[in-house]
């Protein structure tokens, strides 16, 4: 795991997730930061490394509309990264902040509001995970063997928040609700052995949470 801090600054990873397989080909969960920060905007390269053609992405499922999740729709030099995108799934409550990013207004016609329980594909459904941001939503994906929860911003600092799950992030809109959501997600995922995948879980961004006394541990995949 990378160090929690470097030169006194906290390190924040930014991940997004491409699904593959029957029924879920072409679905991307979150788009990363694009030109949001000098160290983000590497999605085009990382997709190429994974041999995924951006033209194959047709559905973007957003966990929420913060800039480090939505701005990757455009490359840092302002090109549209996904020319064949048909749908941007987004919670109704997050639409306003999405459209507040005026450079993303060109995607307005693709927005498709989702609510908890909605199926995006046969084995992929939206799950409300309130507290961090308006309409913060996870996506639960079941295969024959495994369950996954793409949980957006339930965790920002994995090195701190599994061992102390009550620890809040300053940018959680409603910290008590975000804390309750985090505790519930950890509890349920640990009980069920669900794989968790998060935007800020470091690398590879997916792993398992397990009970450790009063707190939790995290094992990256």
Sign of CA pseudo-dihedral 48, 3, 197, 208: positive
Closest CA to 197 of 13, 60, 3, 7: 13
**Number of residues in contact with Zn ion, rule: CB under 5 A?**
2
Window of 32-40, 96-104, 151-159, 182-190 that interacts with Zn ion by CB under 5 A? 151-159
- Residue among 121 and 178 whose Cβ is closer to Zn ion: 178
Cβ-Cβ contacts under 8 Å for 91 (sequence gap 6 or more)? 62, 64, 113, 114, 115, 126, 128, 134, 135, 136, 137
Closest CA to 18 of 7, 9, 27: 27
Residue of 32, 66, 72, 130 that binds Zn ion (CB under 5 A): 66
Q: How far is the CB of 65 from Zn ion (least distance, A)?
A: 9
- Residue among 66 and 179 whose Cβ is closer to Zn ion: 66
- Residue among 123 and 156 whose Cβ is closer to Zn ion: 156
- Residue among 134 and 165 whose Cβ is closer to Zn ion: 134
Please give the residues from 179 up to 208 whose contact with Zn ion meets the rule CB under 5 A.
none
Q: State yes or no: cis peptide before 48, omega within 30 of 0.
A: no
Residue of 30, 93, 153, 172 that binds Zn ion (CB under 5 A): 153
Which residues contact Zn ion by CB under 5 A? 66, 153
């Amino acid at each position: 795991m990378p160090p929690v801090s470097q030169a006194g600054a906290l390190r924040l990873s930014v991940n997004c997730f491409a699904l593959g397989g029957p029924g879920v080909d072409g679905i991307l969960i979150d788009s990363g930061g694009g030109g949001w920060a000098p160290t983000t905007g590497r999605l085009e390269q990382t997709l190429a490394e994974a041999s995924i053609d951006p033209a194959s992405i047709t559905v973007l499922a957003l966990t929420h509309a913060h800039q480090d999740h939505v701005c990757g729709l455009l490359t840092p030099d302002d090109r549209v990264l996904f020319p064949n995108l048909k749908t941007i799934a987004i919670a109704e409550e997050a639409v306003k902040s999405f459209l507040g990013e005026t450079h993303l207004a060109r995607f307005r016609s693709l927005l498709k509001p989702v609510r908890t329980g909605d199926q995006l594909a046969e084995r992929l459904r939206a799950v409300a995970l309130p507290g961090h941001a308006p309409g913060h939503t996870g996506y639960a994906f079941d295969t024959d063997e495994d369950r996954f929860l793409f949980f957006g911003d339930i965790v920002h600092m994995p090195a701190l928040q599994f061992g102390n799950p009550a620890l809040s992030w300053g940018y959680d809109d409603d910290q008590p609700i975000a804390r309750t959501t985090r505790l519930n997600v950890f509890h349920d995922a640990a009980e069920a052995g669900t794989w968790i995948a998060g935007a800020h879980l470091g690398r590879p961004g997916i792993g398992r949470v397990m009970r450790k006394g009063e707190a939790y541990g995290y094992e990256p995949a």
